[in-house]
Structure 1
Amino acid sequence: MSLTGIFPALITPYDADGAVSPAINRRLVSTLNAEGADGYFVSGSSAECYLLDTRERMEILEATVEAAEGRPVIFHVAATDHRSTLEHARRAADAGASAVCANIPTFFTYSDQSLAAYYRDIREHTELPLLAYYIPSQTGRLLTADFFLDLAADGTLQGMKYTSSDLGILSRIRASRPDSFTILAGSDDTLLGALAHGANGGIGSSYNLICGVYAGIYRAFGAGDLEEARRLQSVSIAVLEEMGGWEFISFLKSVLRSRGLDTGQARTPMSPIPSELDDQLAGKLAAKTELEPYLISPV
């Protein structure tokens, strides 16, 4: 199955009691299907992955696969303990995932050799394609193009989620692996630039709100309509500028709630946005007239 195009990095919906809600998740996915999603990224940063246990992560994966209507689903498997990471990798295929992805372990500092061994260990526990998740702004760990290319050469990695504004590394990886390595851009504000450097598509958090914008960027770029692609990237940046003043998951949930899709509050220790501010925040976005046609319309 091809991992190309636009993959919303799904938030995790909760019910009124704070339990994960597969039903609300299915509604979110059905809405994003209609707004141009080509696939889904489950249990990543936007999903509060490190605040979910294995049962919750598997429930959301299964609900996403059910609602995706055949679209590929990438399952982020990394956990705070390595045994859980491997368990997620082992169970992903049976739950219907199309590929798995893993961030590097955080908190401790690991050598490149240790991190390579980490990915090789995950590789041994799944038959699915394995993507690295590169997000140095969160891990504090810079890795080189050669690190990923070596793991691609020995068959450990089949691709990566590239969440960095340094497009030089992405460009070098693509030049060395022109056809056989999937690169999905993870920085929403530089999707167009990443596509120009050879990315196969994008994964992003604000896709939950304006999936049609990113689908439009991807399709306009593919059609050679750079003027339209640039216009839509500027629309995305306008949303990201508003989001920058808040904890981003709480922002996403607030706007979704005001648009008619209540996904609950983000889990502690993230700060919720008071419900009385929901409409005010959504109103600020709607006041940007270029945004209104693209904001999510829940089914």
Structure 2
Amino acid sequence: MKDLIAATYAPMHKDGSLNLDIVKPYGKFLKSNKVAGAFVNGSTGDFVSLSTDERKQVTEAWSKNKPSDFHLVCHVGHNNLREARELASHAEDKVDGIAALAPYYFRLNSLGKLLEYCSEIAQCAPKTPFYYYHIPVLTGANFQMIDFLEMAGENIPNFAGIKYTQSNLIDFQKCMGFKNGSYKILFGVDEQLLSSLPYGAEGWVGSTYNHLAPLYYQIISSFKAGDMERATNLQQKAVHFVETLDKMGGFNGTGKSFMRLFGLDLGPSRFPHTTLSDNQLATVVKSFDKIGLLSLLSPEFNTGSLKG
């Protein structure tokens, strides 16, 4: 679990049903851009808009069609603990890791409750590494992860680490150094990848690694070479990418639409996300061209199919 891990979209047909046939070329595209793995059924993958059966189908499709030497982590969290346990059991022999975010309707009010929830899920896939998905802006479970690490490491035998999607770099630094880095702390704020590098981050999970993997690897190499000016400039371009698409109707749907420009039509997004038209994508492309972003995309980038 190192390098960039793409939080993948749930591929769909025009009618909103799952399009699992595109998973294989989707995986090949990511691998060709040196993406090291896929994080499926997460926030980017619209897990809250999928049924439990659909989430299982997505897991199975990626398990059968993932590229070689490619990590596959499946998010199994659910407001209903029984459903989460079922998803974990189903994923046991199909993935390289499972993850779960905290319940987000009846929110947890203590680290003890969080530990209980994670333990119940992890024990349903005892042979599979378990990661806690820390994203308090959506779950409200805003605990210090250094405290959770101490508890989880002692009580969950297959606990492997944290998908850390929060801008609390002090807590992140403490987690990175906990027990000499015994656990994987995967940074999950794409727009701040550069900020994670001084703390020794080596693994990242995010939605923009679907689109901008070559750019992010240049950020990492520029940082290692001591060229902070270039690294900062590249990070600003990534932020512009996110902010521009987010203003078009929310990044989950618009980012998914942008994948059409890489030859991957992943279909529409389910409510309440926005799916962009060709004309809207053409406008976005012009904006990115002005800041020199297009040359930093993968070789598959092609606007030939756009009508705008």
Equivalent in the alignment of 1:268: 271
Distance 1:268 1:187 in 2: 24
Q: CA deviation at 1:266?
A: 0.6
Change (3 A) 1:224 1:62: farther
Matched to 2:199, the amino acid is H
> Quick check: 1:9–1:208 contact (8 Å CA) kept in 2?
yes
Q: CA deviation at 1:224?
A: 5.8
Q: Tell me which stretches of 4 or more aligned residues in structure 1 moved more than 6 Å.
A: none
Structure 2 residue 174 is the aligned partner of structure 1 residue 177: no
Q: CA deviation at 1:16?
A: 2.2
Distance 1:201 1:36 in 2: 13
Give the secondary-structure state (helix, strand or coil) at the position aligned to 2:26.
helix
Please show how residues 165-244 of structure 1 align to structure 2 within 5 Å: 165-221=167-223, 226=228, 228-244=230-246
Matched to 1:106, the amino acid is Y
Matched to 2:39, the amino acid is F
Structure 2 residue 58 is the aligned partner of structure 1 residue 60: yes
Equivalent in the alignment of 1:87: 86
Q: CA deviation at 1:257?
A: 2.2
Q: 2:97 is matched with which residue: 95, 99, 102?
A: 99
Q: 2:290 is matched with which residue: 282, 287, 290?
A: 287
Q: CA deviation at 1:296?
A: 6.6
Equivalent in the alignment of 2:150: 149
Matched to 2:76, the amino acid is V
Cα deviation 1:1-29 (Å, max 9, x = unaligned): xx111001001110122111122222222
Give the secondary-structure state (helix, strand or coil) at the position aligned to 2:55.
helix
Cα deviation 1:68-107 (Å, max 9, x = unaligned): 3221111111123211111111121322x10111000111
Structure 2 residue 253 is the aligned partner of structure 1 residue 255: no
Distance 1:191 1:154 in 2: 30
Give the secondary-structure state (helix, strand or coil) at the position aligned to 2:212.
helix
> Quick check: 2:109–2:141 contact (8 Å CA) kept in 1?
no
Please show how residues 15-94 of structure 1 align to structure 2 within 5 Å: 15-65=13-63, 66-94=65-93
Distance 1:257 1:227 in 2: 32
Change (3 A) 1:28 1:214: same
Give the secondary-structure state (helix, strand or coil) at the position aligned to 1:70.
coil
Deviates more, 1:277-286 or 1:243-252: 277-286
Alignment RMSD: 2.2
Q: CA deviation at 1:150?
A: 1.6
Distance 1:43 1:264 in 2: 16
Q: CA deviation at 1:49?
A: 0.7
Structure 2 residue 123 is the aligned partner of structure 1 residue 120: no
Query: What residue ranges of structure 1 are gaps of 5+ in the alignment?
Result: none
Distance 1:134 1:31 in 2: 28
Q: Percent identity?
A: 27
Query: What residue ranges of structure 2 are gaps of 5+ in the alignment?
Result: 303-308
Q: CA deviation at 1:45?
A: 0.2
TM-score (norm. length: structure 2): 0.88
Deviates more, 1:99-108 or 1:272-281: 272-281
Distance 2:38 2:299 in 1: 16
Q: CA deviation at 1:254?
A: 2.2
Change (3 A) 1:29 1:224: farther
> Quick check: 1:37–1:215 contact (8 Å CA) kept in 2?
no
Change (3 A) 1:149 1:213: farther
Matched to 1:125, the amino acid is C
Matched to 2:53, the amino acid is R
TM-score (norm. length: structure 1): 0.91
Distance 1:107 1:101 in 2: 18
